[in-house]
Chain A
Amino acid sequence: MTRKLRSLFLVFALLWIAPASAEAPLEEMILTSTAQGRNIDAAVAALLQAIVNHNYTFVREQAIDSRLVPYAQEVRSVRLVYFCNFAKMNQALKLDPRAAQMLPCRVTLVETPSGVDLIAVNPAWVSQSMGNPALHAECENLKQDYLAILEEASM
């Protein structure tokens, strides 16, 4: 009888744990801000300054269709800015090589009639499905850096 109760308890405990573990706070997919009233060149310049101010290094800037169409035909209203912090990159790759899925850091800028939208994929959203808590903690920090950079760049 005791054994039966113990087995039942185990089954209920497992059933209770499974949904509980799935209830971890879900990250939003996209981090975004808007630089109102700016054109894309001004927004890129502000973003580059914010990147440097937060101890990141500019890597490159390109149009979304760079190298896919002749230069003159590139859509210059959608730009990608890549940047990184080498110490953080080193740390993340040591924790898990799959961190490369978030490297280098990137912000996509989209020019709209009212300004420029700055958009980044939330690294914590990417890492939450990887099953590596140490990497996820790093990505939570990286998310905070992204938010600070986006905020400063859109001020």
Chain B
Amino acid sequence: MSRAAKLRALAVALSLMWAGAAPAEPLRVSKSVSLRQAVDDLTLAAANHDMVLVKMQPIDTALVKRGFDDPHVRILFIGSETAVRWAEVAEPRLLNLLPLRLTLIQRDDVVLVLSDDFEPWRREFPDNPANLLLKAWESELKALFDDFVGQ
């Protein structure tokens, strides 16, 4: 076995190992705004994509009120009636993802917005129509995030 071939084999082995251990990643976007402004901007972006802010979960203030450290994290739930109706028809277990959750994490002057990670769900539902629905929601969120950054 030549040295080059050995190196190739090692590279393949390492990449296999890395792929096995690589954590899945949700959609993410960041913007230099306050947490409050981020909530307003995301609400507007959701409205631009026919979605509604269902609930803002201020877990930062809820924890502080009970004597815990401020995690600088808030959760937004956004949804649309269409998403609910499609999930009811396509795969009722997808209702567990609705309304869609956005996690807002403030670090200094930047707010990082994360979606839930759709990858494990897509693996669980490899076939249509559930898989298509998940892809559609992910695309909508990507567009919403682009809108949020562009404001």
Contacts and interface: CB of A to CB of B under 8 A. Distances in A.
Contacts of B89: none
B23 interface: yes
Interface string B55-73: 1010100110010110101
B20 to A, nearest CB: 5
Chain B facing A: main interface SS = mixed
A98 B81 contact: no
Contacts, number: 125
Contacts of A10: 10
Interface of A: 4, 7-8, 10-11, 14-15, 17-19, 21-22, 29-30, 59-60, 62, 64-69, 75, 78, 86-87, 89-90, 93-94, 97-98, 100-101, 103-104, 106, 108, 110, 119-121, 125-126, 129-132
Interface of B: 1, 6, 9-10, 13-14, 16-17, 20-24, 26, 52, 54-55, 57, 59, 62-63, 66, 68-69, 71, 73, 75, 79-81, 84, 92-93, 95-96, 98-99, 101, 103, 105, 114, 116-117, 119-120, 124
